[in-house]
Structure 1
Amino acid sequence: MLKESISITALSSTSALGDTPVEVWESYLDGQHKMAEIQIGEHSVWASKLTTIGESNIRQLRLSDTKYKELDPSVLLAMHTARKAITAAKWREESNFGVNIGSSRGATTLFEKYHQSFLKDSSAATLSSPTTTLGNISSWVAHDLKSKGPDISHSITCSTALHAVLNAVAWLQSGLTDKFLVGGSESPLTPFTIAQMQALKIYSKEREIPCRAMDLGKKRNSMVLGEAAAMACLELGKKGNALAYIDGIGYATEPLEHNVSISTDAKCFQDSMKMALGDMDPTTVDAIVLHAPGTIKGDLHEKRAIEKVFCNKIPFLTTNKWKVGHTFGASGLLSMELALQMLQHQTYISVPFFNQEPKSDTIKKVMVNAVGFGGNAVSILLSK
């Protein structure tokens, strides 16, 4: 149990769903996926790209300062989204807030660009190292916002963003700071990254709806990659402007059965969800936003874990990956955004492949799940 409440006072994102909370909510209501077939390297693949407005905002940011011209898209996505978040939370620049932003893959665009150049003439560009370090994202966001608190980066694959939440909660509970900006940023639509997912035989070859997340009867994997960033402002205590509160946090890691899969009943998810619940009655959870990446085993094993924890009183289950694909390190915060939107609008967002009636008309508590390569699960319990 948390020693003191944690308020989420802002959450901002940029993705194929939109660049503002209104655009994002409208995307959730329209019943359409936001993926398109695009050319990446020599292949035409399904992908989830930023909206036209989002791309324009990132382009303007890149041109706004000569120092920003050489930054990886993942850094610019984070900077743009972080600016929106602290504005919405009414935080002042140069105040004492921490920054913890992670990424699963990091500076993929620049890594591939610099490596291709190196293969040609065996020399590296001057900025190849400083612009591709893992700490590059958080450090540039902290620089841009002139924050004076701790500055942390990490990569814990697809649960990166929710691990940032865990870390911030620990800092806030310790009393070392009372505000933390957390999130994830990913720009993985590059030839080598796509090739890696295709090599795993998990990338989508579907036609009508490319990512069939939570279609538990699908016969082939259907993961689709997307670019996105999402940031949340966390504050210690119950704040009047809170969008929601963090009631519980859970985390777990399980021994690997395979490099890319979790166990058949996702023991890591069972443990993380139980830890997030603590002594709370599981029946008080109204909905769960699943990680559900659109793979056969990933979706099914997470569902089995939920059945183990919640028995015959399963909450309403949903995911956003059928709409926006898998945004790797940013995905957990995009899932948290969906949870906040459902709490705010008191509306359940369903998945076309999974028919389920809500157990209640109101939405008071929503759990958010994430897991990545390595079986590192996180569960966050939110309340209105």
Structure 2
Amino acid sequence: MRRVVITGTGSVSALGNSMDQLMISIENKICGTKKMQNWDKYKGLQSLVGAPADMPDVKTIPRKLRRSMGRMSLLSIFAVNEALESAGINKDSLKNRRYGCVAGSTMGSAEALNDTFETMLPDHDLTLLTSMGFFKSISHTVSMNIAQYLGIVGSVIATSAACASSLQAIGTGFDLIRHDTQDMVLCGGAEELHPTVTGSFDILFATSKNFNDVPLKTPRPFDKNRDGLVCGEGAGILVLEELEHAKNRGAKILAEIKGYNTCGSGNHVSQPDRLAMVQCMNLALSDAGVTPDDIDFVSAHATATIQGDLEEAAAIHEVFGSETPVNSLKGYLGHTLGASGAIELAVAIEMMNNNIIFPTLNLDNVDEGCKMINHVKNDKLKKNIDFILKNCFAFGGINASIICKKYEGT
């Protein structure tokens, strides 16, 4: 099979509108969580914190294209622009049947859906609705709008698997290229912050609610005082290419994807499943042709839910033992849901190429049930990193793991 490399990355998040801003914020241990204004007006909403992004100037996107974009799609376009610039690709050169796009999100624009219902339901009147609300809220809105913006005529695919969406998008792009269907694929995901999204997790008892007045102290992955996730927003896009295609155009190669797996637990819609997590990581290792001892660092999913962190820690220990360093990025970014896999993989690649692992933020006292793994906490860890494994484990028992290797020119 053909080899697949990553040649560009782009991100928008609570920690800035570029990869440089994101990495500087993480290095300075900045938490993006804020107390959200006016959320206390929603009866029953217990989590009043979020990790919002600052939207760049949307007028840089042509109005004709912007009309069909909700907040998440707008965020994705700015991440796309950075990823293409990072890869040295002109956005007007992508109209090629061998160039595709795979992008995902948990759902369509929550804001657009909310606006639709608020307009229609009081008087059961559809006359004030616009067609653009539909295009903003459909489940494939991110991939559709990226493809329209760039004129992509190759494979255009949407993944919608909550927290695993963008890692599944990257894995799908990996498969498209290694199996010779595409030569280059833009992959990633986006999500927008909205009280209805946080409210949905609130109903599941999955959100942080004890730190509303001290938002910088949450989320707390693996910490004994963790009390749930913090919904964030943003977008992450990676440029994937076939190795020779990248080399022929003189691209700087950031990493090589070596293995990927996605599998289901088939067990419970909301309860995490350690055995399925173990299977997913082991199958990714098998796909990559490496052993657990080859992995130098695990970027955990670890959203700071009580049970999720316990199950993932146990699964990582079962596969990797107690020596392999582990961190989570949720303490910095919040949980960007459908964007999390792409943003966090981009950060993990930066860490790999700089031989640094940044600590899990807000991890002050490791939960007894999570102590069996080697947490990177308090200070960054300097070590040689050749292989990384990134996890995403979503509600519905949808699991994804991907393995990347530092590219050394061969």
TM over 0.5: yes
Q: Distance in 2 between matches of 1:360 and 1:38?
A: 36
Percent identity of equivalent pairs: 24
1:120 aligned partner? 122
What corresponds to 2:344 in structure 1? 335
Residue pair 1:157, 1:328 contacting (<8 A) in 2 also: yes
CA drift at 1:374: 1.1
Q: 1:282 aligns with which of 276, 283, 292?
A: 292
State the secondary structure of the residue aligned to 2:122. Answer: helix
Asked if the contact 2:105/2:160 (under 8 Å) is kept, the reply is yes
Distance in 2 (alpha carbons) for counterparts of 1:299 and 1:38: 25
Indicate if the aligned counterparts of 2:142 and 2:189 stay in contact, CA closer than 8 A: no
Shift of 1:360: 7.5
Work out the CA distance in 2 between the residues paired with 1:200 and 1:361. 39
Partner residue in 2 for 1:236: 242
Secondary structure at the aligned position of 1:336 is classed as helix
Alpha-carbon distance in structure 2 between the residues aligned to 1:186 and 1:34: 15
Give runs of aligned pairs for residues 23-102 of structure 1, distance below 5 A.
23-41=21-39, 42-43=41-42, 45-51=48-54, 55-57=55-57, 59-61=58-60, 64-69=62-67, 71-92=69-90, 93=92, 94-96=94-96, 97-102=99-104
**How much has 1:87 moved relative to structure 2?**
2.3
Q: Report the equivalent of 2:208.
A: 204
After the TM superposition, which of the residue ranges 370-379 and 202-211 deviates more from structure 2?
202-211
For these two proteins, the number of residue pairs brought into alignment is 370
- Which of residues 90, 107, 122 in structure 1 aligns to 2:109? 107
Give the TM-score taking structure 2 as reference length.
Answer: 0.85
Q: Secondary structure at the match of 1:159?
A: helix
More off after superposition, 66-75 vs 138-147: 66-75
Deviation at residue 365 of structure 1 after TM alignment: 0.9
CA contact (8 A) 1:47 1:224 kept: yes
Deviations 1:215-266 (A, max 9, x none): 1x23x52210001000000001264511011111122211223x21212xx1
Q: What are the Cα deviations for residues 332-376 of structure 1, in whole angstroms up to 9, with x where unaligned? A: 111101211101222111114155489982111111000111111
**Larger deviation: 325-334 or 124-133?**
124-133
Q: Which residue type is aligned with residue 88 of structure 2?
A: K
Partner residue, 2:279: 271
Aligned residue identity for 1:230: G
Q: What corresponds to 1:214 in structure 2?
A: 222
**350, 356, 359: which one pairs with 1:347?**
356
Structure 1 residue 137 and structure 2 residue 145: aligned?
Answer: no
**Aligned equivalents of 2:221 and 2:189: distance in 1?**
21
Which residue in 1 is equivalent to 2:302? 292
| 87-96 or 296-305, which deviates more | 87-96
For residue 360 of structure 2, give the secondary structure of its aligned residue in structure 1: coil
Tell me the residue number matched to 2:155. 150
SS at match of 1:12: strand
The CA deviation at 1:56 is: 3.0
Equivalent residues of 1:286, 1:359 under 8 A apart: no
Letter in 2 for 1:363: I
Distance in 1 separating the partners of 2:333 and 2:111: 20
Counterpart position of 1:377: 399
Q: Does 1:175 align with 2:184?
A: no
Q: How far does residue 274 in structure 1 lie from its aligned partner after superposition?
A: 0.6
CA distance in 2, matches of 1:361, 1:330: 28
Aligned pair in 2 of structure 1 residues 61, 359: CA closer, same or farther (>3 Å)?
closer
Shift of 1:133: 1.5
Residues 231 and 35 from structure 1, CA distance in 2 versus in 1: closer, same or farther, beyond 3 angstroms?
A: same
Q: Quote the offset at 1:377 in angstroms.
A: 0.8
Match of 1:8 in 2: 6
Cα deviation for residue 135 of structure 1 reads 2.2
**In 2 relative to 1, CA 359–334 (structure 1 residues): closer, same or farther, beyond 3 Å?**
closer
Distance 2:27 2:238 in 1: 22
Kindly tell me: are residues 359 and 272 of structure 1, through their superposed partners in 2, closer, same or farther at Cα, counting changes over 3 Å? farther
CA distance in 2, matches of 1:130, 1:31: 38
Asked if the contact 1:250–1:271 (Cα under 8 Å) also holds between the matched residues in 2, the reply is no
Distance 1:82 1:306 in 2: 32
Listed one character per residue, the Cα deviations across residues 180-210 of structure 1 (whole Å, up to 9, x for unaligned) are: 00111100x2232222121112211223511
Conservation of the 8 A alpha-carbon contact between 2:18 and 2:79: no
Alpha-carbon distance, 1:316 to partner? 0.7
Matched, 1:245 2:256: yes
User: In 2 relative to 1, CA 174–356 (structure 1 residues): closer, same or farther, beyond 3 Å?
Assistant: closer
Q: Which runs of 5+ in 2 are unaligned?
A: 367-374
Unaligned runs of 5+ in 1: none
